[in-house]
Amino acid sequence: MSSYSPYPNDAYAVGWISALPIKFAAAKGMLDEEHGDPKTPKQKADRNTYALGRIGKHKVVIACLPMRGYGSSSAAAVAREMLSTFPNIKIGVLVGIGAGIPDYDGDEEQDIRLGDVVISSDSETGGVVAYDSGKRLHDGTFKVAYPLDQPPVSLRTALSALYADHEMRGNRIPQYLQAMLAKHQHMEHRYKYPGQLKDVLFRADYQHQGGKSCAKCDPRKAAKREPDIRADANPVIHHGVIATGSSVVKYAPFRDEIRRKHRAICFEMEAAGLMNNFPCLVIRGISDYADSHKNDDWH
């Protein structure tokens, strides 16, 4: 492979933004073919570092947020600079980890578990809600007042086709992961499935008991879910509202409040900087439950 892509910059139509280096590595591991650096030098104002390649029939540009530079403003800057160098990008994806918002006391069909995947999709909101951008009213209530655009019709129709395909054949995430680890065997120790026994959802009123793990936490305080253990370990793909905000959420009562108010099933921190200027879907792998309990195994 040469150090430069054999394709011109305007041949790339898919832009992929990762929030953290560990996710950038996983994104690169998913490429069917690597292309090297941009054939045409980046615009002077473009500070991004890119990985170019092909996934299926699509030529893809992958960029990562700056180290310790997460958040909506960083995401907006990365997207803006990406579009200056790759002007023909028509489809964007924002991919990384997110905090799941479970509903173990309700009758919802979506049973969010660690390792599952959430895709932003909702007919009312477009799929992403900026829950902490708005105004405080005279009665003390908070009104969200920062509308976010829906993804373009072409992206939503493609999502509908993918949803139908998954209904017929199931998702192919396990096969894709196996193929990646077969090509990059040194990644296996960090990117393999931790196991369902390490997926514990505690009730919202039970706080973490200290330490770097939940070894001191009382397993009797775990929420009852049906079934306790799924029939297989394959990730489930959920479509719904993703709540985006400016801070990491580690407080279960607030998590449940956002679920009730916005029907949200996931938290994240970058999407508000993209939706109105970068036509994209937000895709998050669930790595925690937005509570006080420590569980870094799923990152």
Cα–Cα distance measured from residue 183 to residue 193, given in angstroms and rounded to the nearest whole number:
17
What one-letter code names the amino acid at 46? D
Q: What pLDDT sits at residue 108? A: 63
**DSSP, res 222:** B
Q: Which residues of the chain have pLDDT under 70?
A: 1-2, 105-109, 145
**DSSP, res 115:** T
Burial 98-109 (b: 16+ CB within 10 A, else e): bbbbbbbeeeee
Q: What pLDDT sits at residue 136? A: 75
Q: What pLDDT sits at residue 107? A: 63
Q: What pLDDT sits at residue 188? A: 86
90-298, CATH topology level: Rossmann fold (3.40.50)
Q: Are 257 and 137 in contact (CB under 8 A)?
A: no
Cα–Cα distance measured from residue 49 to residue 80, given in angstroms and rounded to the nearest whole number:
13
Token pair for 30: 């998913």
What one-letter code names the amino acid at 136? R
Cα–Cα distance measured from residue 177 to residue 36, given in angstroms and rounded to the nearest whole number:
23
What sign for the dihedral angle of Cα 257, 204, 107, 129?
positive
pTM value is 0.93
Rounded to 10°, the helix 173-183/21-29 angle is 90
Task: State phi, psi for 88 to the nearest 5 degrees.
Answer: -95, 10
Q: What pLDDT sits at residue 1? A: 46
How far is residue 162 from each of residues 59, 65, 110, 126, 211, measured CA to CA in Å? Answer: 19, 27, 18, 17, 41
Cα–Cα distance measured from residue 30 to residue 101, given in angstroms and rounded to the nearest whole number:
27
Of 86, 118, 51, 162, whose CA–CA distance to 271 is shortest? 118
Cα–Cα distance measured from residue 180 to residue 184, given in angstroms and rounded to the nearest whole number:
6
